[in-house]
Amino acid sequence: EVQLVESGGGLVQPGGSLRLSCAASGFIFSSYNMNWVRQAPGKGLEWISCIRSSSSAMFYADSVRGRFTISRDDARNSLYLQMNSLRAEDTAVYYCAREQGSGSYQNYWGQGTLVTVSS
Amino acid sequence: DIVMTQSPDSLTVSLGERATINCKSSQSVLYSSNNKNYLAWYQQKPGQPPKLLIYWASTRESGVPDRFSGSGSGTDFTLTISSLQAEDVAVYYCQQYYSSEYTFGQGTKLEIK
């Protein structure tokens, strides 16, 4: 059974940093592209980043480019999101999601972890 | 970026009736080399992560009831629920994965009349 479990969320002050993790199981993690998608309270879904298998390429939404860094550790079956220079508008539930194939739809999602940016 | 625009923003339909949600992309998401539309539909219920319903614009994900169907090509797409059930109350999103920077529509909230 495919499982994705996010962790690392919490309360952080504006300008601060946070690192999110996503532990994957039930599939060959190294073979799949992985994504981060976020959802601000009461708002819609926003795709923010993708990392391809073998870390061959990374992509970012304009809203986070230059502040967030996506990475993966295939030996640990883990996905990460390093978030720097956090702003109030980064407050959201952050989901990790697995793509079915390269450059494809996301068919497995974690339950999400809440990040709150506030003083 | 490819902008995805859904209509309507909210929809109220009676049980057993048809529900139709539209999605329009700012540029074509049809890849000519394989004739596939890089368009997915997701359902999200309160407090839950999104659930994939439809991919390649019209292929139903395994386990999704056949009352859900997707259609369209190029820039205009539709999600249809043929006979609304109480458990279909949710927010529905379209998403393009044609470009490397995926984008979602703003969502359509579906409620029971």
* Span B68-73, average pLDDT: 98
A45 contacts B93? CB cut-off 8 A: yes
Of A47, A111, A112, the CB nearest to B102: A47
B38 and chain A in contact, CB less than 8 A? yes
Nearest-CA distance B21 → chain A (Å): 16
Tokens at residue B27, please? 């540029």
Interval A29-84: pLDDT, tens: 999 999 999 999 999 999 999 999 988 899 999 999 999 999 999 999 999 999 99
For residue A97, count CB atoms less than 10 angstroms from its CB and return exposed for 0-12, middle for 13-18, buried for 19 or more.
buried
Question: Do B23 and B96 contact (CB within 8 A), yes or no?
Answer: no
Interval A70-108: pLDDT, tens: 999 999 999 999 999 999 999 999 999 999 977 789 999
Interval B23-53: pLDDT, tens: 999 999 999 999 999 999 999 999 999 999 9
A45 contacts B50? CB cut-off 8 A: yes
pLDDT at A96: 98
pLDDT at A103: 77
A105 contacts B52? CB cut-off 8 A: yes
Radius of gyration (C-alpha) of chain A in whole angstroms = 13
Nearest-CA distance A37 → chain B (Å): 10
- Cα dihedral sign for A69, A70, A73, A78? positive
Residue showing tokens 């395994």? B62
Of B49, B91, B107, the CB nearest to A95: B49
